[in-house]
Amino acid sequence: GAPDIAATTRQFLAYVETLLQLGLKVTVLPAAADYPDAHFVEDTAVVMPELAVITHPGAPSRQGEVDTIAPVPAGFRPLARMSERGHMDGGDVLLVDKQFFIGLTARTDEQGIREFAAAVEPHGYQVAAIEVSAGLHLKSIVNYVGRNTLLLTEGYVNHPAFSGFNSIVIPEEEAYAGNTLWINDTLITPQGYPYTLGEISKLGMPIVQLDTSEFKKMDGGLTCLSLRF
């Protein structure tokens, strides 16, 4: 069904409060009425210690969002900006230490990955492309949860790019819980996925469960709602 605005706002405010409780400084941007997906800010930029890369989102309706976002990371990092030749959503970009895993999806293409690699490799990062056959983004189905561990769906457990990690494999019926967020040695996970909750509990970290049911209706999750750096 369609998302409920009041419920969406409550869930967003609970998310912001959780980030604050975990010790982060949070900047909440004004509403961007022309861009109804703009609350999924992660897709518009990738921020690392050395620079911020402003992406060129794969959905034409979202490409104007980058102009509203770019001034914010520019206050913290030098900017690199992708051209309009390639496409990339930040939701396809998973960073673990100095290794980027980037999903090849309907929103992120090979040209976008090449441009991104050209921006980050001079800073010592490596880039690996991962073909994604299910889910909107790579981080819809694969996320790093600390302790050298990936939380992923069954289709990616034997992927050679992930061979150096421990894996927590979640069943397809709980695939949405793969979008779990690791912040300051605490895990934030969607509410209502008991198997995944039990498995990530074995990592021994504090866990916060949040209701993200309204964002799920929009193909969004916990990682989508913020740029973290």
CATH number of the domain enclosing 183: 3.75.10.10
What's the pLDDT tens digit per position in 65-114? Answer: 999 999 999 999 999 999 999 999 999 999 999 999 999 999 999 999 99
Q: Residue 78: its pLDDT value, please?
A: 98
Long-range contact pairs involving 209-212 (C-beta distance under 8 Å, separation at least 24): 210/11, 210/14, 210/15, 210/18, 211/11, 211/14, 212/11, 212/15
Q: Which domain holds residue 199?
A: 1-30+141-224
Contact of 229 with 48, CB cutoff 8 Å: yes
* CA distance to 96, 138, 146, 185, per residue, from 151 (Å): 13, 12, 10, 15
Q: Which residues are catalytic?
A: 137, 224
For the segment 43-77, what is each residue's pLDDT rounded down to a tens digit?
Answer: 999 999 999 999 999 999 999 999 999 999 999 99
Nearest to 177 by CA among 156, 153, 201: 153
Asked whether residue 105 falls in the same domain as residue 17, the answer is: no
Examine the fold and report which residue of 84, 111, 135 is the final residue of a domain before the chain moves on. Answer: 135
Q: Exposed (0-12), middle (13-18) or buried (19+): which is 27, by Cβ within 10 Å?
A: exposed
User: Would you place residue 180 in the very low, low, confident or very high pLDDT band (cuts 50, 70, 90)?
Assistant: very high
In terms of Cα–Cα distance, which of 148, 149, 141 is closest to 176? 141
Instruction: Please give the single-letter amino acid code of residue 164.
Output: G
Indicate whether 104 and 73 sit together in one domain: yes
What is the percent of the chain with per-residue pLDDT over 70, rounded to a whole number?
100
For residues 128 and 182, membership in a common domain is answered with: no
pLDDT range class, residue 135, cuts 50, 70, 90: confident
Residue 223 confidence (pLDDT): 98
Residues 55 and 8 in one domain: no
CA angle 58, 84, 33 (to 5 degrees): 55
Residues 120 and 152 in one domain: no
Are 130 and 218 in a shared domain?
no
pLDDT for 130 beyond 90:
yes
Domain end, chosen from 81, 115, 135, is at: 135
Q: Output the average pLDDT for the chain.
A: 97
- Examine the pLDDT at 14 and tell me if it is beyond 90: yes
Backbone angles phi, psi at 76, to 5 degrees: -125, -30
Asked if residue 106 belongs to a domain, the reply is yes
Please compute the mean of the pLDDT values over residues 108-136 and round it to a whole number. Answer: 96
Structural domain contains residue 100: yes
* pLDDT attached to residue 81: 97
| Residue 158 shares a structural domain with residue 115 | no
Query: Are 148 and 168 within one domain?
Result: yes
Residue 37 three-state SS: coil
pLDDT band of residue 134 (cuts 50, 70, 90) is confident
Tally the domains of the chain.
Answer: 2
Structure confidence at residue 133 as a pLDDT band (50, 70, 90): confident
118 and 146 in a single domain? The answer is no
Phi, psi of 107 (to 5 degrees): -105, -15
